[in-house]
Amino acid sequence: MDSGALLDILGNENRRRILRLLARKPCYVTEISEYIGVSPKAVIDHLRQLEEAGLVESRVDDQRRKYFHIAENLRLEVRLSPFDFGAKSAYPASADLDLARCQHVSIRVQQDREDDVADLAARLQELKDLERELSLAQRWVQGRLADVRGRLGDAVGDGHERLYADVLAALADGDGTVPELAASLDAPEPLLEGVLETLREQGVVARRNGEWHIPE
């Protein structure tokens, strides 16, 4: 789902309260209405929007009562700093993901015993602890990103320090044309051409066969 649309949906407090309730158990409209203290009509409208967004689904039990439950398992991330603003949503990776491809993270992978309740409960707590550690690591990385971007921009910038840092970071991944860099950085091509030309004059970047790169 588009992260912008997801932000719009989650911008309403009552919809967030509905999702918190549904994260605990499936509920029908009257239950939700009583829990969040709004009319059933308003609850139905919120549920409709959540269903249209693909976040909530419903089922009917034997008594023809309609229960609602959360349909998706996703993560929404919003980044806001002096150097960056963006939002992205991501679905969980497959359990078969090869974590050996992660160069900077080492995680112990264990095989869960499906029918062992004690083992699964312990595994759940271990994963919660891992989630907290990863959150701390992410905060540390965000701080270091801002620090390095600032220092890099100060070293080469002349008014567009933050953009200079992002251009150099993009080129560190490999050569790129102006259109490619513009698409990657969501910046106008004429602005990038001026930045690249200034960096070329400083001897920081060079152009070869229409592509820009950082000389060794």
* Each residue's pLDDT tens digit, 175-210: 889 999 988 888 889 988 988 998 898 888 999 988
Least confident of 9-13, 36-40, 73-77, 190-194: 73-77
More confident residue, 207 or 95: 207
State the chain's mean pLDDT as an integer.
Answer: 85
Q: Hey, where are the domains in the chain?
A: 3-70, 122-216
- In the structure, what pLDDT confidence band is assigned to residue 49 with cuts at 50, 70 and 90? very high
In CATH terms, the fold of domain 122-216 is Arc Repressor Mutant, subunit A (1.10.10)
Q: Give the pLDDT confidence score for residue 144 in this predicted structure.
A: 86
| 96 half-sphere exposure, CB direction, 13 A CA radius | 0
Q: What's the Cα-to-Cα distance from 132 to each of 15, 100, 115, 138, rounded to whole Å?
A: 26, 21, 26, 10
Is CATH 1.10.10.10 the right assignment for the domain spanning 3-70? yes
Between CA 152 and CA 100 the distance in angstroms is: 31
Can you tell me the distance from the alpha carbon of 175 to that of 181, in angstroms, rounded to the nearest whole number? 10
What's the pTM? 0.63
Q: Tens digit of pLDDT for each residue in 39-48?
A: 999 999 999 9
Whether 3-70 shares its CATH topology with 122-216 is answered yes
Q: Higher pLDDT residue, 48 or 147?
A: 48
